[in-house]
Amino acid sequence: MTTTCFTSQRLLLAVLALSAAIGLAGCQAFDLRNPSLEEPVPPIMEPPREKSLVSLPSYRIEPPDVLQLEVFKLVPLPPYRAEIYDVLQIQVMGTLLDWPIGPVDTYGRPTPDGGYYLVEAEGTVNLGPAYGTVRVAGMTLEQIEEAIRQHLLQVLKAPVVSVKLARASGTQPISGPYLVGPDGTVNLRQYGAVHVAGQTIAETKVALERHLAQYFDSPEVSVDVAAYNSKVYYVVTAGAGLGDNIVRVPITGNETVLDAISNVGGLSQLSSKQIWIARPAPGNFGCEQVLPVDWMAVTRGGSTATNYQIMPGDRIFIAEDDLAALANFVNRLVSPVERLVGFTSLGGSTARNLQTLGRQYNAQRRGF
């Protein structure tokens, strides 16, 4: 029994001594940090800044961009059949001296630019008093030449006729600005719609020329973006408890944080100097991309380290001033009480005024 008690006491003392030693030595945790995470970021992953701006990728057209189209060549597909109000360029050799068909030079010979004749509402062209009219509507240019030649043989011996199409009445102009619709297409009116969303300017040019080739012979189109409306960034200003303000700004490609803040008129009276960029990440990326901005260093020190280049879709967040937020919070708490006290005071004052008026009225009735 004695030995057992002594052994138990020794075991207890040993445990206490070990606990004391551990307590004096302190807790030693395992260092699980990866030293590679503290190494500098590779240059390719560095965000672009004021002095190291980068060019944005090829612009992809999206709604509601505005495109400027210029069409340089619109020649109808052969064989073209003349319609009313078309303009034909007609030249005839071997005409009467006093009645040439087409402009003539000082020697009475037809000039190379030829004459222009309108296909009238009846479908005919008027060649002048000496030759009369010829019906040409619905004919090809070769058929028109033969019809005019056969008609002139009634008057002339051996006329030589040349006919060209100067202007097609059914060809509507295409050049001008076009809004990319919500479905990603541009509406070319009578020539249909062309899907351009997600394409570059060069790809859009090819798509438009391929589509217009259904109506014209080798069309040539120039495409430019008149209004860059689809690529934007956002400046979010915290309202110190009064609601956030969001400004949507179209991006041009070289904006920095300083440019973005200047585009919204600078910092408001409710804003602090705490600013950061929240850069959108792909879906299910699992983390946030946040770039803190040292506003004082950027503005007062001219530092470019945190004056980052803005990318499409960036959210520039301007935090609220803590004192302004606290003042607004207190005002929101006190305002209902002030109104209640004001209503109570006004009600009491109104009641007292009514009582005073009542006494004066009674006193006047009694003759006092």
Q: pTM, whole model, 2 decimals?
A: 0.64
> How many Å apart are CA 152 and CA 363, to the nearest integer?
122
Confidence of residue 145 (pLDDT cuts 50, 70, 90): very high
Q: Which amino acid is at 302?
A: G
Question: 58-94, pLDDT tens digit by residue?
Answer: 999 999 999 999 988 778 888 888 999 989 989 888 8
pLDDT at 187: 95
The overall average pLDDT reported for the chain is: 81
| Fold equal for 66-72+176-227 and 87-167 | yes
The CATH number that domain 232-320 falls under is 3.10.560.10
| Pair of tokens at residue 359 | 């006494």
For residue 114, what are the CA distances in angstroms to 87, 101, 293? 12, 8, 71
The runs of H, that is alpha helices, within the chain are 2-25, 141-152, 201-212, 257-263, 295-299, 322-366
CA atoms within 13 A on the CB side of 363: 7
Side by side, the strands of the sheet bearing 315-320 are: 245-250, 232-237, 315-320, 271-279, 289-294
Lowest mean pLDDT among 143-147, 148-152, 237-241: 237-241
Domain made up of 87-167: CATH architecture: 2-Layer Sandwich (3.30)
Confidence of residue 327 (pLDDT cuts 50, 70, 90): confident
Check pLDDT > 90 for residue 11. Answer: no
The domain segmentation of the chain, as residue ranges, is 66-72+176-227, 87-167, 232-320
8 A C-beta contact, residue 51 and residue 311: no
Quickly name the fold that domain 66-72+176-227 has. Answer: wza like fold (3.30.1950)
Give the residue, 202 or 8, on which the prediction is more confident: 202
> How many Å apart are CA 260 and CA 41, to the nearest integer?
26
Mean pLDDT of 314-328: 84
